[in-house]
Amino acid sequence: MAPLSIGPRSLNADERAVLEHILSAEFVGAAQLRSQLDHSEVVAVWGPDSASVDLQVREPCAHAALPTELLPVDAHVHHQSGAYVGEILVWTDRGATLAALEFAWVTDEMPTSLPAVVDGRLSWPA
C-alpha cells in the first residue's frame, strides 16, 4: 500500500519523543539528524490508523552523511510485560535527511500509536 499524503504538519509529541530517543544514540551523522527535528514535518501516513509516517525536512538544515538509508540503531519495542512486540526504524533520504519513522510490529494487530519512552526504553502499554 502506498503512503497516504497529508498536508504537512509538525511532528506530534509521540513522534518527537521517539525520534529524540533514537537520535540520542551516538553514530556518524546523529548530531546533524538531531538538528533536523525542528525542521521536520509529517507529509504522509502509511495507512489508515498507522503509526508509521513519512517525513520531510525543510531547508536550510545540516545534512548527515550516513552510508545507508536506515539508521544504525536497535530500537526494540517491548510490551510492559517484557515481550518483544517490534521495533522502530528511522529511514533517511540518501543518508542525508530524515525521511520516515516506521513501527515494524510482530504482533497480530497493527499498532495505531507509537510506543512511549519509559526509563530509556521503548515500551508498549499494557
pTM for this predicted structure: 0.93
**Nearest-5° angle of CA 81, CA 47, CA 20?**
55
For the segment 21-45, what is each residue's pLDDT rounded down to a tens digit? 999 999 999 999 999 999 999 999 9
Rounded to whole angstroms, what are the CA distances from 2 to 30, 34, 42, 46? 28, 27, 15, 7
Rounded to whole angstroms, what are the CA distances from 33 to 18, 83, 96? 13, 30, 8
How confident is the model over 81-97, as a mean pLDDT?
A: 95
pLDDT band at 85 (very low <50, low <70, confident <90, very high): very high
For the segment 49-59, what is each residue's pLDDT rounded down to a tens digit? 999 999 999 99
Largest CA distance in the chain: 43
Residue 73: which of 98, 52, 50, 54 has the closest Cα?
98
DSSP labels, 1-38? ---EEEEEEEPPHHHHHHHHHHHTS--TTHHHHHHTGG
Residue carrying the nine cell digits 552523511: 65
For the segment 98-118, what is each residue's pLDDT rounded down to a tens digit? 999 999 999 998 999 999 998
Three-state secondary structure call for residue 103: strand
CB burial of 9-22 (b: ≥16 within 10 Å; e: otherwise) equals eebeeebbbbbebb
pLDDT band at 125 (very low <50, low <70, confident <90, very high): confident
